[in-house]
């Protein structure tokens, strides 16, 4: 019994240290990119949500009224929100590097794979109800990640939770930084998909991020405000990464695994018509996930 408790304590400290370290490295990378690209961070009320609330919960339920489950939940909330904030900031700042848009290259990769994303969007536009379902699946991926972290905390699976947080942080860092090298305006914008086709999808699908992308890629925008974040499409797809995080970490009874697999499939399809990604973006996201997952397995036992 004593050995098991000791091992659990080692896992907690090992996993916590690993995530603090990776978040620290991430922060330094973002600070360096901000400095090099002339990007400015504007603190706002989002900081209270991102840092003060989870840190307070962690302190209260770790030292004042010790509760391992709530402590793990608070850590999960903090590290996911922190990595999300840093990743979103990095993705925008990296666009200011001014690398040429890589849409032609990404589209050619798709063609080599035998995929024509514009034709896929046209085909999916015939199924309005299914398109609405895809939109919901795409939009709720972050809450589903949060739920996955909560489930792991309730189950007492600290090692799995710390691996999830590690994978999330490393992946969002890689995906955000790639905008400095392979920026793209997205498949729907690149192919100028007909408005009549896009009208079958919920408002803004495939194009909502384009104005933000254009402002940052042109260098006109330079202030990052967490409360007013607007995501941008990019290679690799972080939505694909998050879908695989859910697939690998939210496991349970057979019925749950089937539901999770179905949801992940919806998210992967939605990245093309709702998110405006290329198929190459999805494959790149899956590759980033497995790279981060292998790293997490070696760092957190």
Summarised one tens digit per residue, pLDDT across range 120-166 is 999 999 998 999 999 999 999 999 999 999 999 999 999 999 999 99
Least confident stretch, 10-14, 42-46, 168-172:
10-14
Domain of residue 9, residue span: 2-299
Summarised one tens digit per residue, pLDDT across range 75-130 is 888 899 889 989 999 999 999 998 999 999 999 999 999 989 989 999 999 998 99
Count of the separate structural domains present in the chain: 1
DSSP 79-145: HHHHHHHHHHHHHHHHHTT-PPP-HHHHHHHHHHTT--HHHHHHHHTT-HHHHHHHHHHHHTHHHHH
């Amino acid at each position: 019994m004593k050995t098991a408790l000791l091992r659990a304590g080692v896992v907690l400290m090992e996993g916590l240290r690993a995530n603090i370290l990776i978040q620290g490295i991430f922060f330094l990378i973002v600070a360096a990119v901000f400095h090099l690209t002339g990007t400015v961070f504007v603190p706002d009320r989002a900081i209270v949500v991102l840092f003060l609330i989870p840190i307070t919960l962690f302190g209260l339920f770790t030292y004042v009224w010790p509760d391992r489950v709530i402590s793990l939940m608070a850590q999960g909330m903090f590290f996911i929100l922190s990595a999300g904030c840093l990743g979103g900031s990095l993705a925008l700042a990296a666009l200011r590097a001014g690398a040429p848009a890589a849409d032609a290259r990404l589209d050619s990769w798709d063609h080599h794979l035998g995929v024509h994303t514009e034709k896929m969007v046209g085909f999916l536009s015939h199924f309005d109800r299914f398109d609405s379902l895809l939109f919901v699946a795409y939009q709720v991926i972050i809450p589903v990640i949060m739920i996955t972290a909560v489930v792991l905390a309730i189950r007492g699976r600290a090692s799995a939770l710390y691996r999830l947080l590690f994978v999330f942080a490393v992946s969002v860092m890689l995906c955000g930084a790639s905008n400095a090298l392979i920026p793209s305006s997205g498949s729907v914008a690149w192919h100028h998909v007909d408005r009549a086709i896009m009208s079958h999808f919920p408002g803004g699908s495939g194009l909502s991020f384009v104005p933000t992308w254009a402002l940052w890629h042109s260098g006109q925008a330079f202030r990052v405000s967490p409360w007013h974040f607007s995501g941008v499409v990019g290679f690799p797809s972080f939505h694909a990464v998050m879908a695989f995080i859910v697939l690998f970490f939210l496991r349970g009874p057979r019925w749950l695994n089937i539901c999770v697999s179905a949801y992940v499939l919806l998210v992967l399809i939605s990245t093309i018509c709702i998110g405006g990604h290329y198929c190459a973006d999805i494959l790149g996201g899956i590759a980033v996930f497995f790279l981060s997952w292998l790293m997490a397995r070696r760092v957190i036992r």
